[in-house]
Structure 1
C-alpha cells in the first residue's frame, strides 16, 4: 500500500471504476446459469455490454499513461529508468495473474497460463515501450509526445493482425480464418500453452479450442491502450474546445468504422480482432465523454462516489474478488448436517422474494456493496494498491 494525495482525472476515475465493477459483477453472480443476457459474453461474433468492460479498463490504463510519464520525466527520471519500471510493473501483473489462476489449489499440471492480468501486463509492456519510443525530453525537461507515431503504431498493429488472419494460411486450415478452431490466435494458443493450460469454461462442441486472453490477443489489446493514450494526450493538451462532443464524435467514428469493416474482419472479442478494438475503443471514448459531461453537473461527485472509490483502487478490488471467490463456493457445514456454499445459499434465499435472474443479480450487487465498504475505508486513509 502507498499513500497518495495526487489530483486525479475524475471522469477517467469514474470510467475506470465502472469498468472494474463490471469485471467483478461478471465474476460474482448468485447463479452462473441465471445471468441477464447483457452480462453474458458473446459466444463468438458480435458482443454484449459485458464485452466492453475489459477494453474500457485497457483504455483507462492508456489514458493515464501520458500524465504519469510527463510527471516522472519532469522529475528527472531517465527513459531507461522509466522503461525498467514499466517492465517491472508488467512482470508483477503477470506474476499476480498466474498466482490467482492457480489459487487456491495450485495444480500446475492443469493451471491456466493465460489470464486477464497476464494480458493486461503484457499489453501494457508493449504499449509502454511504444509510447516511450514516441516521446522525447525537451530542453526544460518536459515530455514531448508524438501522437502521429502512436497513431501509426496503432494502425500497424490492427492492420497486421487483420492481414495475418485474412491472408496467411493456418497450417491444416487455410485462410482467411476467424473461427475458434482454425484461426491463428486459437492455433497458436493450443500449440504454445496446450489445452490443459487454457480457459476451459467456453468449450466449442465439448472441446477447448481457444483462450480469450491468449497471446495474439495481447498484441491487439495494446491498441486499446494506445487509443486511451491518445485520449490522455488530448486531455493534457487543453486544446480540445468541446471535449464532450469530441469524445462522442471520435467514439462514434470508431464504432462506425468497425461496423463498416466487419464484413472482412468480424467483430470478435475472443480473438480480439481489429474491428473489436475499434468498436470497444469507440465505446470507451463515448463513456468517457458521458462522464466528462456528468462531471459538470451539481452533486455528481456524491452520486458517483462509488465509482471514484473503485476507480482509485482497481487492483485491490480485482485481487480481493479472486481471493474471496473460493470462500463463496466452498461447501460449508450447515444446520442439520448438510453442506452448502455461500453463493448457492444466497441465491436460494434471494430467490424466495425475487425472480431467479434478479436474485442472481442482487447477489452480485450485495457483494459489490460489501467490497465497496472495504475500499472506502482504504480510500479515506489514502491506501492504494499500486505497482
Structure 2
C-alpha cells in the first residue's frame, strides 16, 4: 500500500459514521484558508486574491470568515440542536460554549510579548488595552444569537429572522444619527465614520478595538453592531441544513440554485448597498452566502454523490478539530513575530533567508504560509489519530 492510500485509510478509518462528511470538509477548507491568508511570509508581498478588499468590493479572502459562520449555522442543525426542547440546562450549555470561545479569543489577544524590546509593558499594552472583539469573539456572539433563534422558532422563521436582522442593521446604519465634532450625521459609510464605528468607539473604547488610530471613530472589523448581520449569515446556514442537506441529487440542485439566486440578488443589491466585509452589509451577506451554498453543493456532489473522497482527508482532520488548529495557528504565528532574530523577527528572518531567496517575493510569501500550515497540521493530525478533539 502506498503512503497516500495508507494515510487516507487511516483518516477515514477513524471518521465517525454519524458525522456529515461534506460539512466537516467545508469547515476544514474554511479554517485552512483562514490560516493561509493570515500568515504570509511578508505582508508586503501577497497575491491580491489572498488580501481583503481595501474597502468596498470583495475578494476570495473576504468569503472565508462568513463561510465559517455559514457552516456554524449548518452545524447547529446537523447536530440536532434545533430539535431539542429549550430549558435552563440547554441555555447554560450554549452560554458555556460561547464563553469558552470568547475566552479563547481573548487569550489570543493577550498572547504577545516582543522579547528584547526594552520598556515594553505587557500588562498595560495587552491587558489594560486588550482588543475585546475578534474572530472567535464574533463566532461566540453569533453562536448565541443563532441558537436562541433556532431553538425558539420554526425553520421558515429563521429565514425571516435573517432578513429582519439585516434590515434592522441597515436601517440603523442609514438612519441612526450620531455626532462628529458637533456636526450631526447619518448614513455615512466611510472608514472610521459610520454608525457602526460610532458604536464601537463609544461602547468598546478607542484602546480596545483593532483600528485604534482611525478618526473620527476607532472601530473593530468584528465590531458590535455588524454582529447582527453576521448572525444572518449563520441563520442562512441553518436554513440550508434544515431544508437541503441530504444525499439526494435533487437536494444538490436546490442548494446550488439557492446559492446562485442569493449571489445574483446580492450583486444586484450592491448598486444601492455596497458589498463591504468590515461593515458586513446585507449585500455582503447575500453574496458570501451564495458562494458558500455553491461550494456546499459542489462538495455534496463530489463527496456524497460521486463518493470521491480521498483528496479530502487533510480537510477532514482540520474540520473535525477546527478550533484547535485555528488557535494553534494564531498563537504560533504570534510567537514567530515575538522572537527577535538579527534585526528582525523569527518570521522575517525565515522569509528573508529561506523562502524569498528560494522562491521570490510573492511565491516565497505564499510558500511560507503553506509550510506554516503543514507545521500546524502535524499536531492536529496526531490528535485526530488519538481521538482527541477540542470541544468548546
Q: How does 1:223-372 map to 2 (within 5 A)?
A: 223-235=232-244, 238=246, 242-296=250-304, 300-332=308-340, 338=342, 340-348=344-352, 349-372=354-377
Judge conservation of contact 2:244–2:255 (CA < 8 Å) in 1. Answer: no
How far 1:362 moved relative to its partner? 0.3
The structure 1 residue matched to 2:223, chosen from 194, 197, 214, is 214
Cα distance change on mapping 1:130 and 1:92 into 2, 3 Å: same
How far 1:345 moved relative to its partner? 2.2
How far 1:385 moved relative to its partner? 0.3
**Aligned counterpart, 2:388:** 383
Instruction: Normalising by structure 1, report the TM-score.
Output: 0.88
Judge conservation of contact 2:175–2:186 (CA < 8 Å) in 1. Answer: yes
**Aligned counterpart, 1:143:** none
Give the whole-Å Cα distance in 1 for the aligned partners of 2:18 and 2:98. Answer: 24
How far 1:78 moved relative to its partner? 5.2
The structure 1 residue matched to 2:163, chosen from 151, 155, 158, is 155
Give the whole-Å Cα distance in 1 for the aligned partners of 2:186 and 2:336. Answer: 44
**Aligned counterpart, 2:197:** 186
1:246-277, Cα deviation, whole Å (9 max, x unpaired): 12211111111111111221111101111111
Give the whole-Å Cα distance in 1 for the aligned partners of 2:384 and 2:83. Answer: 24
1:278-336, Cα deviation, whole Å (9 max, x unpaired): 11111111111111122157673221111111111010011111221232113445xxx
Bigger mean CA offset, 33-42 vs 339-348: 339-348
1:314-365, Cα deviation, whole Å (9 max, x unpaired): 10011111221232113445xxxx4553311221211112121000000010
Cα distance change on mapping 1:339 and 1:239 into 2, 3 Å: closer
Judge conservation of contact 1:119–1:213 (CA < 8 Å) in 2. Answer: yes
How far 1:241 moved relative to its partner? 5.1
Judge conservation of contact 2:244–2:252 (CA < 8 Å) in 1. Answer: no
1:232-256, Cα deviation, whole Å (9 max, x unpaired): 10245x5965222212211111111
Instruction: Normalising by structure 2, report the TM-score.
Output: 0.87
Q: Which runs of 5+ in 2 are unaligned?
A: 1-13, 113-121
The structure 1 residue matched to 2:148, chosen from 118, 121, 129, is 129
1:107-160, Cα deviation, whole Å (9 max, x unpaired): 2232211111111101111111101111xxxxxxxxxxx211111111110111
Give the whole-Å Cα distance in 2 for the aligned partners of 1:297 and 1:78. Answer: 35
SS class of match (2:278): coil
Give the whole-Å Cα distance in 1 for the aligned partners of 2:184 and 2:19. Answer: 49
Cα distance change on mapping 1:191 and 1:286 into 2, 3 Å: same
**Aligned counterpart, 1:195:** 206
Give the whole-Å Cα distance in 2 for the aligned partners of 1:14 and 1:4. Answer: 12
SS class of match (2:193): coil
How far 1:176 moved relative to its partner? 2.0
The structure 1 residue matched to 2:58, chosen from 47, 55, 68, is 47
Give the whole-Å Cα distance in 2 for the aligned partners of 1:331 and 1:234. Answer: 50
Give the whole-Å Cα distance in 2 for the aligned partners of 1:321 and 1:239. Answer: 33
Judge conservation of contact 2:22–2:299 (CA < 8 Å) in 1. Answer: yes
**Aligned counterpart, 1:111:** 130
The structure 2 residue matched to 1:90, chosen from 91, 98, 103, is 98
